[in-house]
C-alpha cells in the first residue's frame, strides 16, 4: 500500500492533469499591454 492510496496510478493521474491543462488554457485571458506593464512595475 502506498502513501496515497486514493490517488490514481501515475499514468492515469498525468492524463487527468493534461486534460485539465487544456481546459485551463481556454479560460486564461490573452495578455494585454496594460497587464504586462502592471506586472513589470509590481
Residue 37 has a pLDDT of: 87
Reading the block at residue 29, the C-alpha cell is 485571458
Nearest-10 Cα torsion for 11, 17, 21, 27? 150
Domain ranges across the chain: 10-41
Compute the radius of gyration of the chain from its Cα atoms.
18
The pTM of this model reads: 0.33
Residue 42 has a pLDDT of: 61
Residue 16 has a pLDDT of: 76
First-to-last C-alpha distance (Å) of the chain: 47
Residue 8 has a pLDDT of: 65
Residue 12 has a pLDDT of: 76
5-35, pLDDT tens digit by residue?
A: 776 677 777 777 777 777 777 777 788 898 8
Amino acid at each position: 500500500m502506498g502513501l496515497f492510496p486514493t490517488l490514481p496510478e501515475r499514468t492515469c493521474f498525468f492524463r487527468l492533469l493534461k486534460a485539465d491543462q487544456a481546459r485551463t488554457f481556454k479560460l486564461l485571458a490573452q495578455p494585454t499591454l496594460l497587464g504586462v506593464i502592471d506586472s513589470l512595475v509590481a
